[in-house]
Amino acid sequence: MWPLLVPKSSTEQGPVGARRRGPSAFAPAPRVVHSSYDPTCLPRAANTAVVLSLNPSAEGVLPGHLLERAIRAGYIEAGRFNIPESNVQPASLDLRLGERALRIRCSFLPGADTVDEKLKDYILDEIDLRGEGAMLEARCPYLIELKERLDLPAGLRGKANPKSSTGRIDVFTRVITDHSERFDEIAAGYRGPLYLEVVPLSFPVRVREDLALNQLRLAVGRPWLSDDDVRAAHEEEPILFKDGAPVPTGQLVLADGLFLGLDLHGDAQGRVGHSTRDSAPLLDLTSGLEVDPAPFWDPVFREEGDRLVLSPKRFYLLMSNEAVSVPPYLAAEMTAYDPTSGELRTHYAGFFDPGFGYDPNHRFQGSRAALEVRAHDVPFMVENGQAVCKLTFERMLEEPLSLYGADIGSSYQQQEETLSRYFTRSSA
């Protein structure tokens, strides 16, 4: 465990412009806690560059070893809780559920207020997530204060996204911060708590304290690659493959990001993915055991002509037609994209860490992406190869010391199965 800074006094000023407030709706029940503070922790530095040893003009996403420095410096802290080393990924940090969930009647953004100030009008119930945890009902919104808090210096900003395993079970999550007008975006210099809105859309789920449903990235500057930058990166070291060969640069489909298409050819039986079943049982995310997918999922088969008609409101797990390789000097993000102006939603946003689909020894050529798809109000037909999602790329500040893959226990390297790690998956 890394030592964390001692939290500031409760009398210290909060975020700039914040008003004093009464007891938080998330205040934990009293209990005896053994202190995990370490008096040898790093002192808080005056600016980002000092702690992270950055050139003032540096731009990029922080890799795991710089996230560790940010934790030791107190930019990310968890009060009386330690942050497990295993939660630091090659370019992101897993964020953990706190001790309480609040059932709320609607989603919201705080705007000029703190989340606590805005929240009081929307609370319906309080749920204890300690011990064995609790069930979250399908299609009901919940708000959970995360254990991690931020005290970012000027110039260091954050972005949150659901973990891949969360999106694949159709659990919708997004982070809310005080005084914010946007979900999942954390302003440079933000000081305060992080709250996670959680909405299980297809299954009721059991969750508990310390479960990680989403991730955080930190970045400085403007590290995004332009379409021309993506082309140049692909020519230097291919990032997109089809049928085991690099896609010719001139055939990359780019428009503020790299588009991927659907695989609706499928396997020898014509199976192309899975769709959720109605009235599914409780999915326990706390047991650590893989679950038989049959009560939760139906197999999906293509129609003649390698196409598929999506039923309204139903959630589908499908596979990309191309394979992606994210080299060590880049990080990627799958952005939510609607190619139909309202009829179709494809993929919750999600991070692709450096090393996804990448092998320096060229033993494999990329990994395909699992795509989460939902039609809205009318049946909608999609065809093999149709572009339905988009990857954006950012430069890393430094190459991470470890890459996404089997060596760090990554679940989806070289995947040919769309189901989440919570389910028993076929080897095909």
Q: How confident is the model at residue 12 (pLDDT cuts 50, 70, 90)?
A: very low
* DSSP string of 34-64, one letter each residue: -----TTSPPPPSSHHHHHT--TT--EE--H
pLDDT at 100 over 70: yes
Comparing CA positions, the residue from 145, 193, 218, 203 lying closest to residue 172 is 203
Query: Containing H/E element for 172?
Result: strand 171-176
| pLDDT, average across residues 141-161 | 96
How far is 177 from 171, CA to CA, in rounded Å? 20
| pLDDT, average across residues 241-260 | 95
Structure-model confidence comparison of residues 416 and 402, the more confident one: 402
Query: Containing H/E element for 206?
Result: strand 205-207
Please provide the size of the chain in residues.
Answer: 428
What was the pLDDT predicted at 37?
30
Comparing CA positions, the residue from 406, 329, 359 lying closest to residue 91 is 329
382-396 pLDDT, tens digit per residue, is 999 998 889 999 999
Q: Which residues lie closer than 8 Å to 301 by C-beta, 6 or more apart?
A: 266, 269, 270, 271, 272
How far is 94 from 320, CA to CA, in rounded Å? 25
Contact 121, 115 (CB under 8 A): no
* DSSP string of 286-325, one letter each residue: SS---B-STTTEEEEEPBTTTEEEEPBT-EEEEEEEEEE-
pLDDT at 345 over 90: no
What was the pLDDT predicted at 335?
84
What was the pLDDT predicted at 49?
56
272-312 pLDDT, tens digit per residue, is 999 999 999 999 999 999 999 999 999 999 999 999 999 99
What was the pLDDT predicted at 111?
95
How far is 312 from 376, CA to CA, in rounded Å? 5
pLDDT at 9 over 80: no
What was the pLDDT predicted at 425?
77
Place of tokens 């009647």: 105
What was the pLDDT predicted at 409?
62
What was the pLDDT predicted at 404?
84
Per-chain mean pLDDT for the chain: 86
Contact 417, 242 (CB under 8 A): no
What was the pLDDT predicted at 1?
36
Q: Residue 226 is which amino acid? A: S
What was the pLDDT predicted at 57?
81
What was the pLDDT predicted at 376?
84
Structure-model confidence comparison of residues 32 and 309, the more confident one: 309
What was the pLDDT predicted at 417?
72
Comparing CA positions, the residue from 117, 122, 221 lying closest to residue 179 is 117
What was the pLDDT predicted at 40?
30
| pLDDT, average across residues 31-42 | 33
C-alpha dihedral (312, 258, 225, 184), degrees to nearest 10: 10
187-243 pLDDT, tens digit per residue, is 999 999 999 999 999 999 999 999 999 999 999 999 999 999 999 999 999 999 999
